[in-house]
Chain A
Amino acid sequence: GAGVSQSPSNKVTEKGKDVELRCDPISGHTALYWYRQRLGQGLEFLIYFQGNSAPDKSGLPSDRFSAERTGESVSTLTIQRTQQEDSAVYLCASSYRTSRNNEQFFGPGTRLTVL
Chain B
Amino acid sequence: GDSVTQMEGPVTLSEEAFLTINCTYTATGYPSLFWYVQYPGEGLQLLLKATKADDKGSNKGFEATYRKETTSFHLEKGSVQVSDSAVYFCALSPPGGGADGLTFGKGTHLIIQP
Contact = CB atoms under 8 A, between A and B. Distances in A.
Interface of A: 3-4, 31, 33, 35, 40-43, 45-46, 48, 50, 55-56, 59, 91, 93, 95, 97-109
A12 B94 CA distance: 35
Contacts of A33: 98, 101-102
19 contacts: A3-B43, A35-B101, A40-B106, A42-B4, A42-B104, A43-B89, A45-B100, A45-B101, A45-B103, A46-B101, A48-B99, A59-B101, A91-B43, A98-B99, A100-B93, A100-B94, A100-B96, A101-B49, A109-B43
A2 B10 CA distance: 32
Contacts of A100: 31-32, 51, 93-98
A50 to B, nearest CB: 8
A48 B98 contact: yes
Residue picked from B32, B49, B97, B98, most chain A C-beta under 10 Å: B98
Contacts of A42: 4, 89, 104-107
Given A42-B89, A43-B89, A98-B97, A104 B42 contact: no
B62 to A, nearest CB: 16
B98 A99 contact: yes
